[in-house]
Structure 1
Amino acid sequence: MSQLVLFAIDICAVVLLVFGLYFPRHRRRDLVVAYLGVNIGVLAVASALSSSNVGAGLGLGMALFGVLSIIRLRSTELDQHEVAYYFSALALGILGALGTTSVWLNGGLMGLIVLVMFLGDHRRLFRRYRHQVLVLDSAITDHVRLVAHLEQLLHARVHAVTVQRLDMVNETTVVDVRYAVVERGLTAESVPSARTGVHR
């Protein structure tokens, strides 16, 4: 009976994770199927192994290895928050299958996972911070001038810049930039930046 309760909690938790948190915030339909499939698949495999003579640790380890390989070898790029949702769906499935411990403990851990994802992926958390890869139409070799140009272009405070490609022939610079959008009433010059040598 306790195992069925855990199954029900897992289904409710993954539905809340996918349809209550992930899809309304990120709108990727293909990953909805992936998260649901990972969760139910791990739940089914772990439950079957826990009631068989096969070593549950070995079987579950192989299942996790397969899931992580799928995540790592995907042809389309995944953002870090999408990887976090993968691990959350996977962890919910494992907790739902482990009926040897307390139902309340496993249920509480499932609730904790959903709560952490709700808070950690909330739009208001670090909402001014951005990350982009930009292609500039000029080749800029001086770091100070590059930061100044990016701050003027983005109307933001640049925190970190990595030059990925510098093409002196075609006069282009590809940069990975992390920055914070400047609030109204402030300018990028009014706040300490990378140009002053201050690390933020």
Structure 2
Amino acid sequence: MRVIATGILALMLAAPAARADGDPASDVLLGENVFYPYMPPVSAAIQKQLDAETAAASRARYPIKVALIASRVDLGVITSLFGRPQKYADFLDQEISYQNRQVLLVVMPSGYGVQGVTPAARAVAASLSKPAGPQSNDLARAAIVAVARLAGAAGHPLKGVSGGGQSTTGTGGGSTTLLVTVLAVAAVAAAAALVVIRRRQATAG
């Protein structure tokens, strides 16, 4: 808990940088393969399966970043992009792809957005059925299907992924995911607070 508290304090002190984007997924995906929705959380079993699949994609030389956006809360201060998965994928790609382009998949209740994919994989993404529902678990299940199909379309079929959701090590365990999520929430809160303060100062001036 001391580590988490220290991390939150550091983010509060670094709030000027946080307000530049206020996008939780871009912070999480710098160190993790998957950004999971805040509420309700994805079940542990489904998280394990999706983590295992992204690890398998990396082994197949198809590393992929996945952002599951269940509500506007998951977008931080850029809530206008909710329901527009491709627009958000375009934005998020600029946030996380500095020197090297990365394969990126965004899943929202309304559908999918992709970046860094081959034309064949883009066509596959366009053909995918929407998630079965708007809940976090629905998005994660849809991502599991989408990752495998994108990898296959790009010529990198996935192997060694158990349908029961058996995970491999090294993809970001529960404690790491919890810490990153807490820190990301703190960053968004700090960014939002600064926006309010600046607006009040501007009004007072």
**TM-score scaled by length of structure 1:** 0.31
Instruction: Say which structure is richer in strand.
Output: 1
- Higher-Rg member (1/2): 1
- Structure with higher RCO (Cα < 8 A, 6+ apart): 2
